[in-house]
Amino acid sequence: MPDISTLIKEITSEFIYHWNRGEMDKLPVYMHPDIKISSPYICVVYPENKENSIQGRDQVLAYWNILRERVGIFEFELLEIERIGHKVNTISSIKGNPLKMYTSFEYNEYGKICDVIFTYKS
């Protein structure tokens, strides 16, 4: 049986795989129902959201679907992953974009993602 770090890398890779193919219906399996995400792009979809955060699996999926409609499909490639306890930090390249996506997420004892922070840097 693989160790927890290997499993986390597999889950992260699967999540990116489904995202890149627009298979949004496959993503909820990885997410806690009360997931909270923070991203500077939330204001693109919800300009009134000054906190740039959303909570709830359905709300997050709705946001991602609207974001994909507005900015188009963008694909990620996982470059680095680091696990510290129940927290995971990743760096991904964005196809056709000089920015890199830095993601920090926490998962619970059942492996469900609970809290995600996205940042983007060149």
What's the CA gap between 16 and 9, in Å, rounded?
11
- CATH number, domain at 110? 3.10.450.50
**pLDDT tier, 99 (very low <50, low <70, confident <90, very high otherwise):** very high
What would the pLDDT profile of 43-88 be if each residue is shown by its tens digit?
999 999 999 999 999 999 999 999 989 888 789 999 999 999 999 9
Q: How many domains does the chain have?
A: 1
**Which residue range is the domain that position 78 belongs to?**
4-121
Q: Give all strands of the β-sheet with 53-55 in edge-to-edge order.
A: 53-55, 31-38, 113-121, 97-107, 87-94, 76-84
Alpha-carbon dihedral 46, 48, 87, 110, rounded to 10 degrees:
-60
Q: pTM of the entire structure?
A: 0.91
Helix (H, G, I), strand (E, B) or coil at 64: helix
Helix (H, G, I), strand (E, B) or coil at 43: helix
In the chain, the percentage of residues whose pLDDT exceeds 90 is 80
37 within 8 A of 118, measured Cβ to Cβ: yes
Answer yes or no: is pLDDT of 1 > 70.
no
13 within 8 A of 78, measured Cβ to Cβ: yes
Backbone φ, ψ for residue 58 (5° rounding): -65, -40
Answer yes or no: is pLDDT of 36 > 90.
yes
